[in-house]
Amino acid sequence: MQDAVLAVAFTVLGFLPPLAANGVQLGQLPGHRAGPLAVVLALAQCLPLVIRRRWPALCLAIVACAFAAYQLLGYPASFTSVGLLLALYAAGAHEASFRRELAAGATASYVVLAIALEGLGSPERPVGYVLFYLAMSACWGVGAHLRARRAAGAELARS
């Protein structure tokens, strides 16, 4: 229930005029007008947060693909893109299996996105891509840190 409230809240905030144009943007491609596809991709960046605890890897995959498509199509910044940061946090905090593989896959996907953006003529400098990657890694890292603290607390409780 809590995740559903979060997903709906971010979806609504993503379309409110004061916040709508503030969000995570990568590549700075020349802007295209947002149309129906932009709306679908914006929704796909926040509605999957409803499954962020139960299926964090799936949530991250959906949100990241929507984020990548949104950036590659050069749509304007959107607050819904903050969903990527929350999905990364959730993957760090809640993914129980194949954590290393997921991190490696996310990193490889990011490299492909950066190369594709460069191929499309992005004015982004390499340092911008590195800083963006570090920010995304920090979101995952905070989640992983909290996961480790929960595990340590559960271990102490069992002792």
- Interacting residues of 17 by C-beta distance below 8 A, sequence separation 6+: none
CA of residue 80 relative to chain centroid, distance: 9
Kindly report, residue by residue over 92-131, the tens digit of the pLDDT.
999 988 888 999 999 999 999 999 999 999 999 999 999 9
Q: Cβ of 55: how many Cβ atoms within 10 Å?
A: 16
Q: Cβ of 18: how many Cβ atoms within 10 Å?
A: 8
Kindly report, residue by residue over 38-88, the tens digit of the pLDDT.
999 999 999 999 999 999 999 999 999 999 999 999 998 888 999 999 999
Structure tokens at 28: 């700075």
Whole-prediction pTM: 0.90
Does position 135 have pLDDT exceeding 90, yes or no? yes
Pair 54, 4: CB distance under 8 Å: no
Measured CA to CA, the distance from residue 21 to residue 26 in angstroms comes to: 14
Structure tokens at 90: 């959730």
